[in-house]
Amino acid sequence: MAQTDTVTRILDTAEVLFAERGFAETSLRNITGKAKVNLAAVNYHFGSKKALIQAVFSRYLDPFSDRFHAAIDELERGYGSKVIPLEVLLETMARTVLEVPAERHSLKVFMRLLGLAYSQAQGHLRRYIQDQYGTVFTRFVALVRKATPELPDSERFWRLHFVLGTVIFTLSGLDALRDIAEKDYDEHVSVRDLARRMRPVVVAAMKAPLPEPPQASSQA
Amino acid sequence: MAQTDTVTRILDTAEVLFAERGFAETSLRNITGKAKVNLAAVNYHFGSKKALIQAVFSRYLDPFSDRFHAAIDELERGYGSKVIPLEVLLETMARTVLEVPAERHSLKVFMRLLGLAYSQAQGHLRRYIQDQYGTVFTRFVALVRKATPELPDSERFWRLHFVLGTVIFTLSGLDALRDIAEKDYDEHVSVRDLARRMRPVVVAAMKAPLPEPPQASSQA
DNA sequence: CTAACATTCAAACAATTGTTTCCAACTGCC
DNA sequence: GGCAGTTGGAAACAATTGTTTGAATGTTAG
Compute the nearest-CA separation of B37 from chain A (Å): 25
Instruction: Give the distance, in angstroms, between residue A120 CA and nucleotide D12 C1'.
Output: 35
The 3-class SS string of A97-123 reads HHHCCCCHHHHHHHHHHHHHHHHCCCC
Contacting residues of A for B159, CB less than 8 Å apart: 197, 201
Least confident piece of the model among A54-58, A206-210, B104-108, B176-180: B104-108
Contact criterion met (CB < 8 Å) for A198 and B25: no
Contact indicator for B36, B5 with CB cutoff of 8 Å: no
Contact criterion met (CB < 8 Å) for A119 and B176: yes
Backbone angles phi, psi at A75, to 5 degrees: -60, -45
Residue of A27, A137, A148, A166 to mutate, interface with B, max B Cβ within 10 Å: A166
Dihedral angle computed from the Cα positions of residues B111, B112, B113 and B118, in that order, rounded to the nearest 10 degrees: 90
Q: Does residue B191 surpass a pLDDT of 90?
A: no
d(CA B146, CA B131): 24
Q: Tell me, what amino acid is at A124?
A: H
Q: Does residue B214 surpass a pLDDT of 50?
A: yes
**Residue range B133-161: mean pLDDT, rounded:** 95
Which residue, among A148, A147, A151, has the nearest Cα to A79 in the 3D structure? A147
Which residue, among A96, A109, A135, A143, has the nearest Cα to A31 in the 3D structure? A109
CB-nearest to A162 from B118, B166, B176 is B166
Contact criterion met (CB < 8 Å) for A119 and B25: no
d(CA B31, CA A3): 43
Identify the DSSP state of A156.
H
Contact criterion met (CB < 8 Å) for A204 and B200: no
d(CA A119, CA B94): 21
Residue B77 CA, chain-centre distance (Å), reads 26
Contact indicator for B205, B163 with CB cutoff of 8 Å: yes
Backbone angles phi, psi at B200, to 5 degrees: -65, -30
Dihedral angle computed from the Cα positions of residues B214, B215, B219 and B220, in that order, rounded to the nearest 10 degrees: 80
CB-nearest to A211 from B118, B197, B215 is B197
CA angle A69, A122, B196 (to 5 degrees): 75
Whole-Å CA distances, B112 to A58, A152, A209, B74, B175:
26, 28, 28, 29, 12
pLDDT digits 0-9 by tens, B60-106: 889 999 999 999 999 999 999 999 999 999 999 999 988 886 555 66
Q: Does residue A144 surpass a pLDDT of 60?
A: yes
More confident residue, B145 or A99: B145
Dihedral angle computed from the Cα positions of residues A52, A57, A58 and A61, in that order, rounded to the nearest 10 degrees: 170
For position B104, what pLDDT does the model report? 59
Please check whether strand D approaches the CB of A44 to within 7 Å. Answer: yes
Which residue, among A194, A95, A107, has the nearest Cα to B159 in the 3D structure? A194
Backbone angles phi, psi at B207, to 5 degrees: -95, 10
CB-nearest to B118 from A173, A185, A205 is A173
Q: Where are the beta strands (DSSP E) in A47-166?
A: none
Least confident piece of the model among B98-112, B152-166, B170-184, B204-218: B98-112
For position A123, what pLDDT does the model report? 59
For position B122, what pLDDT does the model report? 60
Q: Where are the beta strands (DSSP E) in B59-203?
A: none
3-state SS class at A58: helix
Which residue, among B209, B80, B104, B121, has the nearest Cα to A25 in the 3D structure? B121
